[in-house]
A and B are shown apart, each in its own frame.
Chain A
Amino acid sequence: MIVAERKTIPELIEILQGHKKVLVLGCGTCVTVCLAGGEREVSIISSALRIASRLASSSLEIEELTIERQCDNVFIEKAAEAIERNDAVLSLGCGAGVQAIAERYPEKPVYAGLNTAFLGILEERAVWTEKCVACGACVLHEYGGICPITRCAKHMLNGPCGGSREDRCEVMPDRPCAWQLIYRRLKGIGQLDRLKQIKPPKNWNASIHGGPRVIVREDHRI
């Protein structure tokens, strides 16, 4: 799941400066689950924006709408009329959602209302943690399903750094040491011998460093 966080209201007011009618557009997928950009957050942010804009003596007219998924043209279609009748769109989708709408409406200013943070999971109620950096070449099978690139602060591929204290990460003492987790996990599944292999430096070509990535599935193209 993509995890995001709302920008502050003063930031949003500054971003929306100069617009009179704004559509606050929520997304019903990842950002709803991470409580950042769903229907409820659209309602809260819209209300806060109305109050803040009135306090700043500018009257912002706000329309609220939440669609199923902002990163998909089929669903964006459902917001077409609302987008047309407003001056600008404040998207509460992730970065992909904001860009999908901006691409679809070249004449309409589209702004991001959230800071898209990471790919993660809900660890416990209201706590999300990063689990994947989308490096493009997954190594999870070698580490018992625990990603050293994401979860080790030093991205170590060959064993722990030696700085961990009592299962805790040296860099972030409130987080567990990923290598401690990997060791326990591999021991539990009887694959400790995997750690004997020395891993060469990771090839980052498949990651963002080589420019934005594209996946084409010829078998599904029309």
Chain B
Amino acid sequence: MNAHAFEPLIVGFFCHYCAYASADLAGSMRFQYPPNIRIIRTPCTGRLEIEYYLRAFENGADGVLVAGCLEGGCHFIEGNLVAKRRVNQTRDILAEIGIEKERLRMVNISAAMGRPLVDIIIDMIKTVRELGPNPLKSTNGNKKEQKDFVQT
């Protein structure tokens, strides 16, 4: 692979009760997924605020993947539905400020979906790779983040 090819950095906000467990399952089953994703475990996707997504982009993420439970299967009844609305709202804000809304995606998976999760991650990376780097990285204000990004 070309050493200078663009490798997207995806921040994954994964729900403790489903997506995080399915990532675990993928590991146990020896399914490999690209190292471009940095998974952050959250107690519920409903815990995530709009600012979290915006801050991720502000700090240099090329994409954000939010993975919550299947609809109807939230441990906290409707946290994933709250998250869905917030993600949609954030996508509108991103479009408003000139960042492609496809960089933020929410998916619903269960703890048993190890293989589908890997496919979702691969697809997300493909989408972001086609979109190119986070446009903020080409601006002067983000030199520090770019440096940090390389180091991580």
Binding site for B on A (CB under 8 A): 8-10, 40, 43-44, 47-48, 50-52, 54-55, 57, 59
Contact = CB atoms under 8 A, between A and B. Distances in A.
Given A44-B51, A50-B58, A55 B97 contact: yes
B147 to A, nearest CB: 16
B136 A47 contact: no
Contacts, number: 46
B100 to A, nearest CB: 12
Given A44-B51, A47-B51, A47-B55, A55 B98 contact: yes
Interface in B107-152: 135-136, 139-142
B97 A9 contact: yes
A54 B139 contact: yes
A51 B97 contact: yes
Nearest to B134: A51
A80 B97 CA distance: 30
Contacts of A59: 140-141
Interface in B22-61: 49-51, 54-55, 57-58
5 tightest A-B CB contacts, nearest first: A47-B54, A52-B97, A54-B141, A54-B139, A43-B51
Interface in B83-103: 93, 96-99
What is the interface of chain B mostly: helix, strand, loop, or mixed? helix
Interface residues of B, number: 18
Given A40-B49, A43-B51, A55-B135, A48 B96 contact: yes
Contacts of A40: 49-51
Interface of B: 49-51, 54-55, 57-58, 93, 96-99, 135-136, 139-142
Given A44-B50, A52-B98, 6 more contacts: A47-B58, A48-B97, A52-B97, A54-B136, A57-B139, A57-B140
B54 A44 contact: yes
B3 to A, nearest CB: 28
Nearest to A52: B97
B143 to A, nearest CB: 11
Contact of A9 (B49, B93, B139, B141): B93
B54 A55 contact: no
A130 to B, nearest CB: 23
Contacts of A57: 139-140
A58 to B, nearest CB: 9
Nearest to A45: B93
In this complex, the member of B49, B54, B97, B142 whose beta carbon has the largest number of chain A beta carbons within 10 angstroms is B97
A40 B49 CA distance: 9
Contact of A51 (B49, B50, B136): B136
Contacts of B135: 55
